[in-house]
Every structure is written in structure tokens, then in C-alpha cells.
Structure 1
Amino acid sequence: MKKISLRLLVFLSLTLFSLSVSGEQKKTITIKGSDTMVILVQKWTESFPDKSVQFQVTGGGSGTGIAALINGTTDICSASRPLKPAEIQQLKEKYNSNGVEIKVAIDGLSVYANKKNPLAKISIEQLRKVFTGKITNWKELGGEDHKIVLYSRENNSGTYEYFKDHVLEKQDFDPAVQHMVGTAALVNAISKDKWGIGYGGAAYASGVKDLAVSLDENGKAELPTEANILSNKYPISRYLYFYLREAPKDETKKFVDWVIGKDGQKVVKEVGYFPLKKK
């Protein structure tokens, strides 16, 4: 009886030890935020060489990801805009930290049109007038005589906020704008609407065409190519970010270091975004 009890005790001890070791080996890193960055983040997590690390990737918009970071429900926030002062203050009050900002890629903000639309270029000033309702017909831009149909990201999107701040100069969008949940949905809508126009990450421009963009009507219009974005010739580009509550450690640090390293930046280019400029 004592032998059986001893054997059982040893078996249970080894089993519990094995489960403990197994649990320690599997770390799940949660990443939540920018819809613009979802396809890039998913590709990063699939390509990360340490297969003992698991990932949970969700979108919802930069604002949603930042809220999750503040609430402690995600390890990493992916964002297509910088943190606002009020968000930094919330992190400071809750965690005694301003948060950690890590630039992970560069994105050109494309202006999408339907492939059947003959218009090839647009200026920043014209874009501002189009999305604030001051220009409502394609013929005012040199196109065909038809009403312009506006598509935008939703207001919890970092892309929406960037476009409003940098293109509209903080003016309100035309109330006629149709707000789409995610860039993929916006691109899909424009691909089916000859008279539609919208904006979003360069990597999503599949099934639609990019309009060349100039600073003003007399300036040279440029497409969001890597050369034009990295040389600052294309007028609408931005960094993409990871935000954390504190400096990354252990598996999270290994992942972040890999993302901004040579192999992670190769993935950036493969997906259709632009790698960080070499220092």
C-alpha cells in the first residue's frame, strides 16, 4: 500500500511539474488597436521565429487599442497615430508611466478612387474641400459631371484622426460622409462605386486606384511609392506605432526587437508598407 502511494505521489508530482514547465513555455502576447495595421501585425506574428510565443491580434481602431492599453487589457497597442496628452495623463495616473512609444513602420495614406474614374490626381487643398463639402461634383476637379460619394474611416480610427488633423486642418467632415468600419470595407465600397473617394493605408489599395497627390493645385502630384514616401515627396505619410505601458521585457522585448530589426522590417515591405528609415 505504501509502495502504491509513493508511486502515485511521484507520478502526480512529475505531472504537475510537467504542466508547470509547459505553461511557462507558452506565453501569449496580446496586440490590439489599429485596423490599418492588422494585416501587418498578423504577418509579423506569423513570421516571428520563436514558436513558443503565442499571439492574440485584434483590430477595432487605434482609439480602441489605446483604451485597452490604459485599461490593462492588452500588452501592446498598435496605433496609426501618436498618443494624445490626455491619454498619456491617464497612463501616468494609473501606472506612473507616460507609456513607451516604438515606431515600427511608415505608411503612406492613399487617396482611393474607383478604377473606372478617369481622374488621376488631386491636391491637398482639393481634398480638404471635397471632404468638408465645399466641392461636391467631380467636374470641379476636372472629372466627369457627377456627385462625389465620400467614404471615411470611423471616428475611433487613428487614420480618421490623422486625415482630419493633417488634411482637413481640423475642420469637420461633410455630414454626407459614409463612415466605414475598417479600411478593407472602405476599399471594397469604392471598388464598387465609380463615383466614390476615400483614404486609408497604402497596403490596402487592391481593387481600387491611388490618386496622385500634390500639396497645391500647381504642384507636382506624386503617388504613394516607397521612394516618394521615404524622400518626403508624397505629402501624406506617417509613422505606425507600438505603445506599451512600460519598457518591454522577456518575450515581448524579443518580439519588439525583432519587429524593428532587419527581418521584421523585411515583413513590412512584403505586406506593402514602408520600412523605417535607416539611421
Structure 2
Amino acid sequence: MKKLFLAGLLVVGTLLTGCGQEKSTVVQVKGSDTILNVTQGIAENFMEKNPKAKIAVTGGGSGVGISSLLNKTTDIAMASRSMKQSEIDKARELGIGIEEVVLGFDGITLIVNNDNPVKDLDSVTLGKIFRGEITNWKEVGGEDAKIVALSRDSSSGTHEFFKEHIIRGGEKNNLEYGAETLYMPSNEAIKQEVKSNKYAIGYIGMGYMDNTVHSLSVDGVTPSKENVANKTYPIAREVYWYAPSEREGVIKELVDFAISENGQEIVEKEGFIKR
């Protein structure tokens, strides 16, 4: 775990329902769609072992989760990107102590339709495709057809990570997704569109990958668990829970369980790499 900061007193445990009222007994976990399923799995397993515990897990994107944490409307934020400096500064201003907990590792997987003959693209070419500079599959060894580029929406941490590392090539610049990029609300939505559209390309968390679509090698490296673990796959990243720095009760027990051997088995079962 990495402590980002600790400022002032932070009331932990559950959310206040109002001034002078009792606290809710439901622990709220909100945020990243990428790690929604694995977090649900962890929560369900934890509640089976702790029948009195009540945990509600909802998605919405990394940005939604982090803003909810800052607004004190969730207890734990799920995120597929690191907190931005502006979010860290906001937490400090509010006197909120937050700890970054690495839940596991993910490889952002580029997917195409199973009938698409293109099987490998390099990072530079991917950047050109998603910036709208390459618009026809024939330019990259495919059919003479328009490329349909799919991205997660701007509330997604995966959207931000992909923009930083592929659209902008890991450099500080103002490059953006192409004007004709289609923005999708979830990993599953991207996968379903690629499955039904022969000329679509999109990206998903590796935990969502199945044989209904085809994964691309990036820079000649396949998005396998082994290649994410040994850091040879070029667009791998950590995925996080952001939790109170000072915590107790169910929140502390849930975080401890998530990073325990049992919790990490669930992370691996859901298609991610253990921390």
C-alpha cells in the first residue's frame, strides 16, 4: 500500500445519513467499470464469510468513484488510474486522508472482430488510428473499409490511461481522440459492438476478454497474464481501491481481505494479475 497523504481527522466506517443521525450499516464501493466485477466478487465472498456485513458495489467510472469519495458519498473508490494531482489537492483541502491500495494489475486489451485479418499493431499506429489520422483498414493490412474506433467515455480511468499512453504517446501534449471516435459506457458495451461490427476496434480490461472477439498484439507482444506480470506488454497498469487512511470495522476488514491470499485468488480468477 502507498499512503498518499493524511490530513485532519477522517471519520471512517460508513456514511453519515445526516447531522446527528446514525450511520448507515452499508459500506459503499463505487467507481471503475474495469474492476467492477472483481470487486463484486470480493464483496460477495467477504459477505459470505461475514454474514452481518453489508456492501454495495456500483460502477460509473473511476472519476465518479473518486469524486464520490471526496464528496463522502462512498467509502471506497475503485479506479483504473491513479488519482490526479487536482484530486489529491482537493482531498487535502477537505481534510480527507486517502490511501492508495493496489488491488492488482491489468493489461488494456485491444480487440477487433473475429473476422478482421489484422492481428498486430504497434503503439504508434494505434495512436494514429484513435486520433483519426488513419481511417481505413487497408492502411494497416486489412480490408478497404472505414475504421470504427471505440473508446470508453471520459469518466473512465481506462479512457484517461489510454489517452496518456497511446493517444499522446506517453508525452505531455494536447493530442486527443479523433472527432469520429464513438464513446461507449462500459467494457462490455465495447466488446459487444466489436463482436457485431466487422470494422470496429476498441479496448477493454483483460478481465473482460473472451473468444467472441479477437485480441491484438501490441508492438508484437500479446496481452497475456504472463506478459502483463513480467511487464513486457506495453499498456499494462495497476488498478486501485482508494480507501480512508484511517479505517476500522467492515471497511478495514474488507480492504484487508481484498489484498489477502483469498482476495487475490478472486482477482486472478476474474482475469487480472495478483499484486
TM-score by length of 2: 0.86
Report what 1:202 is aligned to.
Answer: 206
The answer as to whether partners of 1:27 and 1:251 remain within 8 angstroms in 2 is: no
Letter of the 1:43 counterpart:
G
Contact 2:70 2:96 survives alignment (8 Å): no
**Aligned amino acid, residue 178 of structure 2:** D
Q: Aligned equivalents of 1:136 and 1:67: distance in 2?
A: 35
Name the CA distance, whole Å, in 2 between partners of 1:247 and 1:225. Answer: 36
Correspondence list, 1:33-182, <5 A:
33-48=31-46, 49-97=49-97, 99-169=98-168, 171-182=175-186
CA distance in 1, matches of 2:246, 2:152: 31
TM-score by length of 1: 0.85
Conservation of the 8 A alpha-carbon contact between 1:105 and 1:240: yes
SS at the partner of 2:254?
Answer: helix
> Whole-Å Cα distance in 2 between the matches of residues 55 and 168 of structure 1?
37
Deviations 1:78-124 (A, max 9, x none): 00000111101111111253x21110110000001111111111110
Name the aligned partner's letter for residue 72 of structure 1: K
For structure 2, the residue ranges without an aligned partner over 5 or more in a row are 1-21
Asked whether the equivalents of residues 139 and 145 of structure 1 are also in contact (C-alpha less than 8 Å), the reply is yes
Whether the 8 Å contact between 1:132 and 1:174 is mirrored in structure 2 is: yes
Q: Which has the larger radius of gyration?
A: 1
Structure holding more helix per residue: 1
Measure how far apart 1:247 and its partner are: 2.7
Q: Which runs of 5+ in 1 are unaligned?
A: 1-23, 215-220
Measured in 2, the distance between the counterparts of 1:31 and 1:248 equals: 14
Alignment CA distance shift 1:96-1:55 (3 Å) = closer
Per the TM alignment, residue 47 of structure 1 is displaced from its structure 2 partner at its CA by: 1.2
Q: Does 1:243 align with 2:242?
A: yes
Aligned to 1:65, the other structure's residue is in SS state: helix
Q: Does 1:225 align with 2:209?
A: no
Distance in 1, Cα, partners of 2:95 & 2:28: 18
- Aligned residue pairs total 245
Q: CA offsets per residue over residues 43-67 of structure 1, 9 Å max, x none?
A: 1111112222111111000001111
The percentage of aligned residue pairs carrying the same residue is 37
- Which of residues 204, 208, 217 in structure 2 aligns to 1:212? 217
Q: Give the alignment's Cα RMSD to 1 decimal.
A: 1.4
Name the structure 1 match of 2:7: none
- Tell me the SS of whatever aligns to 2:108: strand
After the TM superposition, which segments of 4 or more aligned residues of structure 1 sit over 4 Å from their partners? none
Out of 32-41 and 205-214, give the one that drifted further: 205-214
